[in-house]
Structure 1
Amino acid sequence: MAAWVRVIKRVWVMVGFHELGLLSAGLAFYTFLALTPLIAATVMVYGLVADVGMVRKQMASIVEVVPADVAHLLEEQLMRIISTNSGVTGIALVIALFFAVYGGMRAAGGMMSALNIINEERETRGFFVKTFRTGGLTLAAVLLALTGVLSGGVFAWLQIQTSVYLGDVTQLLFKILTWVFAIALGSSGFALIMRYGPDRRPAKWRWLAPGSLLATLLWLAVSFGFSLYVAYISDYNATYGSLSAIVVFLMWLFLSAYGVLLGALLNAEIERQTFCDST
């Protein structure tokens, strides 16, 4: 318990030392630039294994978590990408997927830089090694998003089918299972980024679990809490007018990035508490 108290105290101090707010703002900007290519890559990969027209229906449960303005912008981009790429096949699909992943690498590159600062590591990787690592993390993020979309559809189908034979109580059971799986999937994704993002020997998984779980829970709390704040407390339309949707989107990305980086900082300080630095 005394060690955990020291860890929490250092996290509190290092939030200011590393200027976590500025890091989160930069990461939010890079993610904003990379989001459309990332959505395009996810849609194109999804189109290889299923009907792309089902993406909108299966993503409905996902966009319910985020603020309404964010969901509207995501849905607009999603439908535009679906209509643009519906006829892309063969080599053209591979080329389009390559450029989509390349465009989405801004977010992974920004995350890697932020993780280097949090873990107090200096970037020594060469251009090609860093580019390969960034592309790998971006593709992993696309595959994780694809897994989440497909799993959401599977759980929804199971919820409907089992309720017919086993009653309404199974709907609650599958809703709980859906959230448990979503939290586990999100934590795994954040742990993957925190392990392979910074320029260091990969940390042990047990030092990554607490921060990745915290990052997932904070992201969910930020999404739900900010949605309520935008809907019932703040009036962004009165202040920003036609730019309100973009401002809400960027603010949501900023708060989400802050939560993720706070989880990474917790991991760094937990590992610093150990006798020997495993990285």
Structure 2
Amino acid sequence: MSERQNLGPGNGERHNRSVRDAPGDEADRGVTAPDIGPSPEVERRAPDSPAKLPARAWRAVLKGSLREFKNDELADRAAALTYYGVLSLFPALLVLVSLLGIAGRSATDTVLDNLRQLTPGSARDIITRAVQQLQDQSGTGSVMAIVGLALAVWSASGYVAGFIRAANAVYDMPEGRPVWKVLPVRLGVTVVLMVLAVASALMVVFTGALARQAGTALGLGDTALTVWAIAKWPVLVLLVTIMIAILYWATPNARVMGFRWITPGSVLALLIWLVASAGFALYVAGFASYNKTYGTMAGVIVFLIWLWISNLAILLGLEFDAETARQRAVAGGLPPDAEPYTRPRDTRTWDEKDRQRLADGL
């Protein structure tokens, strides 16, 4: 747990709700004790939407996000997520290539063309080479998809498991859910993200000759195809934002303000990721000397750095949403330095040490 400064409105008196006095039998049954986190009265007075927060609250959110990004050691956690991301990427690509194989080789080629435009420098070579190898080794698309799906989901869920731990650290909330409750979340989020990723890939594929054929079959003219060619990119951005929002909502052991398709943090994460990826691509193309330093490993190093930057952006967005939740509670009457500032989803696996740390506000 990281210490937090008084950034928001309200009295400055130190306020910590006692979690040591929470009824043990309630915690054993997984029932959240009533004195953990903001009271129902605070929740009732808190704004329904982040848009209703005052300007000074948003200044506190920004300052708190930058400070807690360092205190929660999110740069190190982004590196860990990069490791899990590498392990998850290629099984996920296996399923993607297998599913696209049903539509024919041209569909996969279209995805490769777009990947070459969207990924920076040598990173595109790593991804496109992997996709091409999977494409060359694949047999019947549907068979490969069925065979690889279980392995891909489990392997890709390692990233979600790492994100769960990072999200709990961001919200300063110990994990209280038992394994049988966390595992469905881990696998369920993974499946949802993979489905949305496949949908995004299919949107990218549905262009050019394929789009014209579909337009002819549906009786659509060139104007409709032109509109689709432009509109699919904002829709794709929206899908990615929703994927990030699902991660933010489902993973932490903290009750956030219901699921929202778009959150301030998910939008911020996407914007930072787009800008950082473009900047990193320019740096690699014009100024970096990775080939001289790393030789044949240069492409791998560039790819790993790009993944790390991507995870930095996602975790910063998560921290931004967490600080928004804090300021929402502060607006409802919770003292700015109170811990925890959200209610836990489950306390079943908490021990006395977890309760003591929360009681001390550490």
Matches within 5 A, 1:85-234: 85-87=138-140, 89-90=142-143, 93-156=145-208, 165-166=222-223, 176-206=230-260, 209-234=263-288
Pair 1:136–1:166, CA change in 2 (3 A): closer
Which residue number in structure 2 is paired with residue 11 of structure 1?
A: 65
C-alpha distance in 2 between matches for 1:35 and 1:224: 21
Give, as a single letter, the amino acid of the residue that structure 2 aligns with 1:76. Answer: R
CA contact 1:212–1:263 (8 Å) conserved in 2: yes
Return the TM-score normalized by structure 2. Answer: 0.69
Give the drift of 1:155: 4.8
Deviations 1:211-265 (A, max 9, x none): 1111111121122111111000111001111111111011001100000000010
Give the drift of 1:7: 1.0
Deviations 1:34-88 (A, max 9, x none): 11111112223444x5225521223422331111311111111111222223236
**Structure 2 residue corresponding to 1:77, chosen from 108, 130, 139:** 130
C-alpha distance in 1 between matches for 2:261 and 2:241: 13
CA contact 1:195–1:208 (8 Å) conserved in 2: no
The answer for unaligned runs of 5 or more in structure 1 is: none
Give the drift of 1:154: 2.5
Which residue number in structure 1 is paired with residue 107 of structure 2?
A: 54
Deviations 1:188-227 (A, max 9, x none): 1100111111123354245961111111111211221111
Deviations 1:116-163 (A, max 9, x none): 11111211222233222211122122111111111122355558979x
Give, as a single letter, the amino acid of the residue that structure 2 aligns with 1:80. Answer: Q
C-alpha distance in 2 between matches for 1:228 and 1:138: 32
C-alpha distance in 2 between matches for 1:128 and 1:76: 38
**Which structure: greater helix fraction?**
1
Pair 1:101–1:78, CA change in 2 (3 A): same
The answer for unaligned runs of 5 or more in structure 2 is: 1-54, 333-340, 344-362
CA contact 1:37–1:103 (8 Å) conserved in 2: yes
Aligned residues: 274
Pair 1:121–1:44, CA change in 2 (3 A): farther
Return the TM-score normalized by structure 1. Answer: 0.87
Pair 1:244–1:20, CA change in 2 (3 A): same
**Structure 2 residue corresponding to 1:242, chosen from 279, 296, 305:** 296
Which residue number in structure 2 is paired with residue 33 of structure 1?
A: 87
Q: Which moved more, 1:74-83 or 1:205-214?
A: 205-214
Pair 1:232–1:159, CA change in 2 (3 A): farther
Query: Identity of aligned pairs, percent?
Result: 26
CA contact 1:36–1:77 (8 Å) conserved in 2: yes
Pair 1:130–1:233, CA change in 2 (3 A): same
Pair 1:145–1:81, CA change in 2 (3 A): same
Give, as a single letter, the amino acid of the residue that structure 1 aligns with 2:164. Answer: M
C-alpha distance in 2 between matches for 1:93 and 1:65: 25
C-alpha distance in 2 between matches for 1:150 and 1:20: 33
C-alpha distance in 2 between matches for 1:261 and 1:180: 23
SS in 1 for 2:328: coil
Deviations 1:84-106 (A, max 9, x none): 2323655x743321012111112
CA RMSD for the aligned pairs? 2.7
Structure 2 residue 319 is the aligned partner of structure 1 residue 265: yes
Pair 1:12–1:93, CA change in 2 (3 A): closer
C-alpha distance in 1 between matches for 2:77 and 2:165: 9
C-alpha distance in 1 between matches for 2:261 and 2:200: 24
